[in-house]
Chain A
Amino acid sequence: TQLLEQSPQFLSIQEGENLTVYCNSSSVFSSLQWYRQEPGEGPVLLVTVVTGGEVKKLKRLTFQFGDARKDSSLHITAAQPGDTGLYLCAGESRRLIFGQGTELSVKP
């Protein structure tokens, strides 16, 4: 069974701080996606990384795919209260396998 483990599960920080969320697996994925989910809504795709070692930036968010395509990280610089939400990673093999998510709270 393919599993994706995210850490930390919960993160509460002050506005302006930096943070990193990790997504790890023992399995290789053809691609890895990061989603953000707000309360009462469905997940929304932020980015897809495909190549081992790939780095993608989306404003203050930096996503990295591990060289072996088994792990990924999401780094947020100078977090804002609007970044608050559930961040999910999902690995793609024959289907999308989701991690448990990281609940981020950014306090003003």
Chain B
Amino acid sequence: DAGVIQSPRHEVTEMGQEVTLRCKPISGHNSLFWYRQTMMRGLELLIYFNNNVPIDDSGMPEDRFSAKMPNASFSTLKIQPSEPRDSAVYFCASSLWGQTQYFGPGTRLLVL
């Protein structure tokens, strides 16, 4: 079975541009998580969904960040406008009823 799929794997953009990260969770999983990993702050939960509904978005840094889950097999994390301090690796993870989380390979974002 395919694991969590994220795209793109790498993104380089300029400050002020819109960035959209995509995630396809494991089929059948009903919980989806977006994390950000940096050297300074480690791995931080940004937002998570249960059954496509956002449950906790308290980790979203600011209004420039938004996440959607239009259906059970797709989620996006959007940054608009992007800033250099948003440079990080963004992970998506999915689980079944909040049990073991399976992480995707991540999207490495560099904002110049």
Contact = CB atoms under 8 A, between A and B. Distances in A.
A95 B43 contact: no
A63 interface: no
Contacts, number: 35
Is chain A's interface secondary structure helix, strand, loop, or mixed overall?
Answer: loop
Contacts of B91: 42-43
Given A41-B105, A45-B100, A95 B56 contact: yes
A96 interface: yes
Nearest to A45: B100
B104 to A, nearest CB: 6
Contacts of A95: 45, 48, 56
B105 A98 contact: no
A40 B42 CA distance: 15
Contacts of A78: none
Contacts of B103: 41-44
Nearest to B33: A96
A99 interface: yes
Contacts of B102: 45
Interface in B46-63: 48, 56
A45 B100 CA distance: 8
Give the secondary structure class of B's interface.
strand
A88 B43 CA distance: 9
Given A95-B56, A96-B101, A42 B106 contact: yes
Interface in A15-60: 40-45, 48
Contacts of B14: none
B45 A42 contact: no
A42 B42 contact: no
A41 B55 CA distance: 26
A28 B66 CA distance: 31
B72 interface: no
A58 B93 CA distance: 23
